Amino acid sequence: MRPVVPYVTAALLFGLGVYGVLRRRNAVLVLMAVELMLNAVNLILVTADATVRAALPHAGQVFALFVIVLAAAEIGVGLAIVLQLYRLRASVAVDEVPLTEPPAGPPAEQAGRATTTGEVTR
């Protein structure tokens, strides 16, 4: 078997996944692009196992199985985060996700000012 075709296919799949991660705004599509990259890695592992036959028999297939388990766990956690994000923000656009938490208290310039009833806020 010539390993060039699976390696080129895996490189194209990985490149498509990277493009999807960098260009997509929807969090679900970003997760799908990450899965595409993991599948490209699986293709490389299985192809290397079939062509090289190193000292460890079927090592590439075992690593591919571990990658599949890792991908399943990543999708479970990722979709849970996306669902929570949708519940909180009503959107799954990754551009709208705040990376820092807003301050908990009142703004500093309003602290200590008198209200309309004459009370001083603290």
The rounded percent of the chain whose pLDDT value lies above 70 is 82
- Please check whether residue 108 lies inside any domain of the structure: no
CATH number at residue 71: 1.10.287.3510
DSSP structure class, residue 95: G
Q: What is the Cα–Cα distance from 78 to 68, expressed in whole angstroms?
A: 15
Mean of the per-residue pLDDT values of the chain: 82
pLDDT (tens digit per residue) in 44-79? 988 888 888 766 777 888 888 898 899 999 999 989
- What's phi and psi for 115, nearest 5 deg? -85, 180
The C-alpha torsion from 112 through 113 and 116 to 122, rounded to 10°, is -10
According to the model, what pLDDT value does residue 106 have? 64
For residue 31, pLDDT beyond 60: yes
Predicted local confidence at residue 48, as pLDDT: 84
Q: Give 43-87 as a 3 state SS string.
A: HHHHHHHHHHCCCCCCHHHHHHHHHHHHHHHHHHHHHHHHHHHHH
Range with the poorest average pLDDT among 12-26, 46-60, 93-107 = 93-107
Structural domain that includes position 28: 4-94
Domains in the chain: how many in total? 1
Comparing CA positions, the residue from 104, 106, 103, 102 lying closest to residue 121 is 106
